[in-house]
Amino acid sequence: MRKHFTFTPIVLLSTACAIRPYTPSLHAGSFAAEDVPAAVQTTLPAYSQVVSAWQLPPNNPWTPYCKLTLFTALEDTPQSALLPDVRELASVKAAGSAAAQLATIGIPDDAMWVVDLRGAASVAFGVYLSGLSQKPVSLVPTFNNWPAQNELIPAEETLSALVTMRPKTPDILQTSTRPVFLLDAWRLAFREEEPEDTVVDNRYALTVADLPAPEVLISQGVRRVIYVVEDRESTTHEEDDLNAVFLSYQQAGVTIDLVDLSSLFGISDAADLPVSLAQWIYLVSYRTTLIEDPAFYRRARGGFGGIYARPFRFGTNYSGGNHGGFHLGHGGG
């Protein structure tokens, strides 16, 4: 049984008597012990092979935002290891179906997508969209952690998706592409709980520098940001580390739309998409977030990962019974 925490009372961050807004990481954390994929023996390609499959051309305007941190868990040569079989996860299947439907009807020319799902589901969404869309798509991974022994969040799920699903990358001559940023909704999960001493806290937060500034979006013809979550009904706000950057987009005149997988899957005609987007407009407001909460960093025991924040060499001891159990490292310190 998964036991990684000492439970602490809910922290209220505002003067009002209300719990923290419901963001994608809270949704992800609530399913922590319920939907754990089984392990399968997997042949892992070499680091260079996977990176070349995912890396955008150097002249692509979205290349500076690609994070290849998680790829460093791979070796210089192909290896065999046990990895979670993420293809059977319900969220992965739903993400693939929604993206396939979206590719069929066509994606807007003026939109940037920010996909904030369970990591493997975000990868699946991007891979299906890039492979089936008639318009060129630039996938931008933002995964900024490693798997580790006795880890807090399942980075190996996202890694498994990255090595088993291959995107269609734009040609070097295609500089006008639709950006799709892939996020892991686990990155700030379990925020009200205190990890046990033996747990490697491999969570992380994105910063305003990890996404394009408003002027970059406008220069590339982006007039709306479509924020994709698993379930719109149970997601009241954008993730805490996105509040500042989304607010800057809105202030610059960029529209934010909050959508979920079932809504996207339900669109059957290209003419319906603008109508649906108009119904999904989301107004961002400044709020006190987890990023400004000193108690969160105290519960995280000095920050994400602390002295253990380094990759380990890959092993074959994933059991599927919890989210720990990997030794990783390509060029890790």
In this structure, of 59-63, 274-278, 306-310, the range with the lowest mean pLDDT score is 306-310
| Amino acid 191: pLDDT | 84
Would you place residue 183 in the very low, low, confident or very high pLDDT band (cuts 50, 70, 90)?
Answer: very high
| Amino acid 195: pLDDT | 83
Distance CA 77, CA 81 (A): 13
Which residues lie below 8 Å from residue 278, measured CB to CB, with a gap of 6+? none
Which residues lie below 8 Å from residue 166, measured CB to CB, with a gap of 6+? 53, 127
First to last CA, the chain: 31
Q: Give φ, ψ of 18 to 5 degrees.
A: -145, 150
Residue 1 burial (10 A CB sphere; 0-12, 13-18, 19+): exposed
Beta bridge partners of 142: none
Please list the alpha-helical segments (H only) found in the chain: 24-30, 47-54, 90-105, 119-132, 155-164, 214-219, 243-251, 261-265, 272-279, 294-299
Q: pTM for this structure?
A: 0.87
| Amino acid 34: pLDDT | 60
Look up residue 324 and give its two tokens. 């720990």
How do residues 100-147 score in pLDDT, each as one tens digit?
Answer: 999 999 999 999 999 999 999 999 999 999 999 999 999 999 999 988
